[in-house]
Amino acid sequence: MKAETLERVLVDIEGRCPVVLATNLESGEQRLLHRGDGETDREHADIEHALRVDVCVTTDEEAGAQVFYQPFNPPLRMILVGAVHIAQPLSAMATLAGYEVTIVDPRESFAAADRFPGVALNVGWPDAALESLGLDQRCAIVTLTHDPKLDDPALHVALRSDAFFIGCLGSRKTHASRLRRLGKAGFSEADLERVKGPVGLPIGSRSPAEIAVSVLAQVTQTLRKP
């Protein structure tokens, strides 16, 4: 990669703008392409796939000169709404998995640095906090409070964003009530289908750590799904 190209990639990553380096394997020509770019529908799809699942893509020989698409994505982020006990193991596990974690909770006695060492804390009201974070396609949002006064404002912002994952802790009954409230607030059926609840893969988890495992597993499954 040329120094000039590397500089442009670093600028895009710093600006949280996913970019793909397309290299013609015959000529060596390189292009930097963003989501929505592409000379053909196939190239557009290859770019989207490379960015979506963080994987390099090489075109088939039958399609002509082979092109190698290498994605450069900004870091993954996970926003946890609610500095509750499950947030402690989940924030630690998500950090190990490569996420930049932010915990949002206006209750300062909950969102305390001694409870979440090394984790970014935001004590703003959830809707204002999430707006300030600039949600994008590299974000996962998980609400944990069970309190509509906190969870619902966050979900309103999350559902208007491109976040790749939105999940909510709570029972099936709680989730049904949540969906009804969101529907009354004007969100469509397609919007409601984005909200995974009760969040987490059904692995029989009980303890906070086990629940955190199930949540992170579902986030990973969604992220890596072809």
**pLDDT tens-digit map of 103-130:** 999 999 999 999 999 999 999 999 999 9
Contact 123, 108 (CB under 8 A): yes
Are residues 84 and 27 located together in one domain of the fold? no
Are residues 61 and 153 located together in one domain of the fold? no
Task: Give me the pLDDT at residue 122, please.
Answer: 97
Are residues 53 and 152 located together in one domain of the fold? no
Are residues 52 and 143 located together in one domain of the fold? no
Q: Considering the chain, what percentage of its residues have pLDDT values greater than 90?
A: 76
Q: Considering the chain, what percentage of its residues have pLDDT values greater than 70?
A: 99
Instruction: Decide which of 72, 93, 115 is a domain's last residue.
Output: 72
Are residues 99 and 31 located together in one domain of the fold? no
Q: Would you state the structure tokens that stand for residue 195, as one six-digit string?
A: 């909200």
Region 23-52: what's the mean pLDDT? 89
Are residues 90 and 163 located together in one domain of the fold? yes
How much is the mean pLDDT over the chain?
Answer: 93
* Residue 62 clears pLDDT 90, i.e. is over it: no
Instruction: Decide which of 51, 72, 93 is a domain's last residue.
Output: 72
Are residues 153 and 200 located together in one domain of the fold? yes
Note down the domain range covering 56: 3-72
Task: Give me the pLDDT at residue 36, please.
Answer: 86
Are residues 28 and 129 located together in one domain of the fold? no
Q: How far is residue 79's CA from residue 40's CA, in Å, rounded to a whole number?
A: 35
Q: How far is residue 189's CA from residue 178's CA, in Å, rounded to a whole number?
A: 13
Are residues 64 and 87 located together in one domain of the fold? no
Higher-pLDDT residue of 63, 161 = 161
Instruction: Decide which of 18, 47, 72 is a domain's last residue.
Output: 72
For 94, the 3-state DSSP assignment is helix
Residue 113 maps to which CATH number?
A: 3.40.50.720
Are residues 110 and 58 located together in one domain of the fold? no
Are residues 99 and 203 located together in one domain of the fold? yes
Number of domains in the chain: 2
Are residues 87 and 148 located together in one domain of the fold? yes
Task: Give me the pLDDT at residue 61, please.
Answer: 66
**β pairing state of 76-81 and 99-104:** parallel
